[in-house]
Structure formats: C-alpha cells, structure tokens
Amino acid sequence: MGAEKHRLQRTVLVAVMAVVVGMLVPGLGHAGGPGKWTKIPTTGKVDGFDQAAMFRTPDGKLHVVWKVHLGANKENLRWATISQAGKLLASGNVLPSNWGTIDVTPHLMKFATAGVRVVFKGAQSTSGFFSTGSVYTSTSPDGQHWTLEHVSMSSHTVLNGTLAATAENDGTPVGAVGLNDALFVHVGIDPAAPAGVIDTTFTQPNTTAMLNQTLVTDTDGSVWMAWYRWTDEATQGVYVQKILPSAGPAQKAPSSGIAANLNAPLEQVALAARAGGGIFVAYCVPTKTKQCAQVDLWKAGAAKARLVPGSKTGGASRVAIAAGPQGRISVAWIDVTKNVIRAVRTNTTGTAFGPVRTVKVPPKAFVYDPLEIEGSSGRLDIVANVVSGATGFPIQLWHTQILPGLSLKASPHTFSHTGATVTFTVTDAGQPLANAGVSCLGHKGKTNANGKATIHFPSGTPKGNAVATASKGGYNSAKITVKVT
C-alpha cells in the first residue's frame, strides 16, 4: 500500500509519458564536468519512479546503478562508472540474466576493501531461490564485474513498500522494506530465501503508512532510519530514529508535516550521515496552501531546523542530500518555478551555508522525477531522472556536476583613485579559505590562513566600478564590484 500511495502522488502527465517512452540510444557520452549534462546510456526503458543509486569507491570512481525495462517480464539493473572529473567511462548489466520484477530503488554501498555492493528487491520469473520476491544482493570488486550472491536479506516476501539499505562500518549490509504501516529491517545476509532470521519490525500507532524510508550509518557505527509517517493527524511528517545496535526514540523533524496538507516526498527521504558524526535530514516544510513553502535542514536531536537558502520560492521539489568531505553537507532540489536545479553546501560543522549554485535542467526536460546527489569528492555529482520533450517523450537519466561556491568581500568597498590598500576576504560557507587567488584591475593577491589577501592600488587607479574575482581549484569563482572614486 505504501508504494502505491507513493505512485499516486506523481502527476498524470508523468504516467502518460511513461507509457510512450522510447528506446534510448546506447553509447557512452564523453562530456562531463561541472555544468555539462551527459546522458547516461540506459540500454532499455527507464521508469519515472526509478531512482539511481550512487557510491564512490576509494579509487575516486563514481558508480551508478539503476533499473531498466527490457520487455514484458524482463528487467535488469544497469551500472555505469563515472570519473571524478565527470566523464562516463563504461556501462553494462549487473545481473547475469533478466528478472521478472525489480524494485525501483536499488542501493549501493561498500563491499570488501575497494569494491561495491548493490542491494535490491525483486523476483525472477522462473521458480527457485530468486523467485520469492525477497531482497537480494550482487557484489563487484570494481563496479564492472558483478556476482549475484546466492543469499537473501528479508524474511518477508509480500512487500509493497520501497527498499532502503546501508552498510555497517564492517561492511555488513542492512536492508529495510515497507509493508503498509510497518517497516521490516534485516541485518546481514542469509543462505535461505526468504531469510531464516526474522526481520525486526518497526511500526507507529495510528499510522496509515510508513513511506519512503532511508537508511544511513553514522561514524560511530549506529544505523539510523528516516521515513514519512502518513496519518490524518498532526503527527504526520518526516521521522528519524536510531535502529542499531539498539533502537532509540522516533523523532519528528520540525515542521515537516501538518494534518492539513499531505507532504510525503516523491522519493526516499533525504537522509545523510555527516563525516565526523551527526545525522541530517532535508525536507519540504508545508503550509495549508503549499506542499513545499521552503526546504529545511535538520540535525537529528536539534531543537530547530535551518532554512536552506534559496528554497523559499514555493516551487522546490525532489529534495536530495549528500555528505561531503570535512563534515560538509550538500542539499539540492529542483525549482519548478524557475526550471532550474539549485544546490548549496554547508560549512564543516553543518551549521552555515555557502552560496546557492544554480544549473539549468537537462536538455528538453519538462517533467522531473527522482534527483540523486553524491558529494564525497568535493564536487557535487547529480543524476536526474526526467521526461524529455524529445520524440517519443523518453524518460532519461542525465549526469552533471556542481562546484561549491566562494564568497568574496572587500574592505574598504569604496576607495580613492589617489591610492589605497584593500583587504579582500574569501570564505567557503563562512569559513576562511586559504590559497585562493584574488585579482582586481590587473593586481593580484593570494589569501592567507585567515582567508585574507591584501592588494595595494596605486595613485592613478582609474575611477569607476571595477570587478574583483576570487578563484581556487575545485570551486566556482566569486565576483564583487568595488568602486574607485
């Protein structure tokens, strides 16, 4: 029931377009890098509900896995690898043969020292071990050569909710699947299908459904789950709970739901474990008239959430979150009022935001489905599932990257043409940034450990407005205008 309610929230337009989706042309793109959209070769039909799983291995490669439709009762998982610079490297099938059904939400996580594991829910059309509709897993040492493991990860097989999964710090996989008003959690793999070890059940009273759950593992090894609680009461909204090694209390994210407006996210709840500790969730805040009046970022357990800058247009949708290096958190969303994707990154404590970055949506996109992001490299990798306006209205997966933005200030901001010394300050989400280059009117400087660069402008400097620029590798440059009188 939970999955069906999830699907009913999607617009009729999307449902119609999914019917007429055309076969995508195979072949690898060679674009990539910040601001350049590359179509991922799906080699099969993609559904508007399909979410792409992403995971970066220690070699810097980003691995992407998603479900494809290859005909009646023929489905598979596809993989692609993307370089740290954003170039598509290779693509292929995960499973050795097609399955009858596969869930729309596969999940990637670490396997062994340098490999990757995918956890998915599905069933083969024929009888046997893989026909039970359980949760299964395939592993790869490099993200390209896959082995379907003869194990399962759920003692339940009649499951109508989406799948969530994570890996404990030692690599043990954990899965959670919904059935109506309950979520079933399974730790580890089992030689039987369905699994012989009984799943742990999580429920909440007076709940119509527990939807769109997500799992993450904190740095201390604890596993956390988030979901949307659908009720007809004021308790409706996004909840976060520690579930392993022992269960903690379920906590509602502030202002994440009201009885007057159903606000369930159209994809899995945006949940991330911050490097260095802390669980963060990003979500739409509803009012009586708007399903998403703004996007908030909340650290589990905090008294208040923080408004995500740039999100108060009333058109935010498909909210996504990703942990980044040094404890930073990135939040991205589609702004349907402006037809753009916006993203912003926090400081190293997750308590302040840098500049909002904006990119155009993929070419010819006019209906937007799941948005997935990954931020471990410092760049933000984005995979968007969109309905294209191309012939046949195909549903496509596109990839791009966004660089974090810098902020630049000048003191004094206005100075005399007879000569002056100006101190420029460069910050990343409010924190000083060293070794950033600053240039203005042909003069240059470099910031120190406090993010400051001092430039002397001699007598005779031309009067008028002048543009100062701050830049550093891995960042989008910042510009301000200073005035020479």
- The CATH number of the domain holding residue 56 is 2.130.10.150
Domain termination residue (choose one: 402, 424, 443):
402
Pairwise CA distance, residues 279 & 297, whole Å: 10
The per-residue pLDDT for 207 is: 84
- Same domain as 251, residue 118: yes
Residues in the chain: 485
* Token code pair at residue 394: 């195909």
Same domain, 339 and 254: yes
Segment 446-458, tens digit of pLDDT: 999 999 999 999 9
How far is 26 from 470, CA to CA, in rounded Å?
A: 41
Specify whether 124 is located in the same domain as 61.
yes
The answer to whether 253 and 247 are in contact (CB under 8 A) is no
Task: Give the pLDDT band of residue 21 (cuts 50, 70, 90).
Answer: very low
Task: State how many domains the chain has.
Answer: 2
Residue 17 has pLDDT above 70, yes or no: no
Mean pLDDT of the chain: 91
In contact, 296 and 305? CB cutoff 8 Å: yes
Lowest mean pLDDT: which of 62-76, 151-165, 168-182, 241-255?
151-165
Give the pLDDT mean for 420-428: 98
> 244 and 219, same structural domain?
yes
pLDDT at 30 over 70: no
Span 172-178, average pLDDT: 95
Q: Domain boundary residue among 348, 382, 402? A: 402
pLDDT of residue 389 exceeding 50, the answer is yes
Mean pLDDT of the region 74-86: 96
What are 17's two structure tokens?
């377009």
Does 419 share its domain with 346?
no
User: Which pair of tokens denotes residue 392?
Assistant: 């046949």
Q: What is the pLDDT of residues 294-316, one digit of tens each?
A: 999 999 999 999 999 999 999 99
pLDDT tens readout for residues 110-169: 999 999 999 999 999 988 999 988 999 999 999 999 999 999 999 988 667 889 999 999
Residue 25 confidence (pLDDT) above 50: no
Q: How confident is the model at residue 15 (pLDDT cuts 50, 70, 90)?
A: very low
State whether 413 and 387 are in the same domain.
no
Report the alpha-carbon distance of residue 55 to residue 173 in Å, rounded: 14
Same domain, 431 and 301: no
Residue 24 scores a pLDDT above 80: no
Average pLDDT over residues 87-106: 95
Q: Per-residue b/e over 409-420, b at no fewer than 16 CB within 10 Å?
A: bbeeeebeeeeb
What is the per-residue pLDDT across 334-375, written as a single tens digit (0 to 9) for each?
A: 999 899 999 999 999 999 999 999 999 999 998 889 999 999
Distance, CA of 176 to CA of 187 (rounded, Å): 9
Q: Does residue 391 share a domain with residue 430?
A: no
Confidence of residue 188 (pLDDT cuts 50, 70, 90): very high
Domain coverage including residue 430: 407-484
Tokens of 9: 């929230």
CATH number of the domain bearing residue 445: 2.60.40.10
**What does pTM read for this prediction?**
0.92
Q: Is the pLDDT of residue 192 over 60?
A: yes
Q: Within this chain, do residues 45 and 86 fall inside the same structural domain, yes or no?
A: yes
Determine what percent of the chain is predicted with pLDDT higher than 90: 81
Convert the chain into a string of H (helix), E (strand) and C (coil). CHHHHHHHCCCHHHHHHHHCCCCCCCCCCCCCCECCCEECCCCCECCCCCCCEEEECCCCCEEEEEEEEEECCEEEEEEEEECCCCCEEEEEECCCCCECEECCCCEEEEECCCEEEEEEEEECCCCCHHHCCCEEEEEECCCCCCEECCCECCCCCCCCCCEEEEECCCCCEEEEEEECCEEEEEECCECCCCCCCCCEEEECCCCCEEEEEEEEECCCCCEEEEEEEECCCCCCEEEEEEEECCCCCCEECCCCCECCECCCCCCCCEEEECCCCCEEEEEEECCCCCCCCEEEEEECCCCCCEECCCCCCCCEEEEEEEECHHHCEEEEEEECCCCEEEEEEECCCCCCECCCEEEECCCCEEEEEEEEEECCCCCEEEEEEEEECCCCCCEEEEEEEECCECEEEEECCEECCCCEEEEEEEEECCEECCCCEEEECCEEEECCCCCEEEEEECCCCCCEEEEEEEECCCCECEEEEEEEC
Which of 361, 381, 402 finishes a domain?
A: 402
Average pLDDT over residues 202-227: 94
Q: What is the pLDDT of residue 263?
A: 87
Say yes or no: 183 and 331 in one domain.
yes
Question: What does the alpha-carbon distance between residue 119 and residue 46 come to, in Å, rounded to a whole number?
Answer: 19
Q: What average pLDDT does the segment 247-258 reach?
A: 96
pLDDT band at residue 31, thresholds of 50, 70 and 90? Answer: low
Residue 26 has pLDDT above 80, yes or no: no
Q: Does residue 42 share a domain with residue 143?
A: yes
**Is the confidence at residue 411, as pLDDT, over 70?**
yes
pLDDT at 32: 63
Same domain (yes/no): 351, 209: yes
The mean pLDDT of 225-248, rounded to a whole number, is: 95
85-94 b/e with 16+ CB inside 10 Å = b? ebbbeebebb
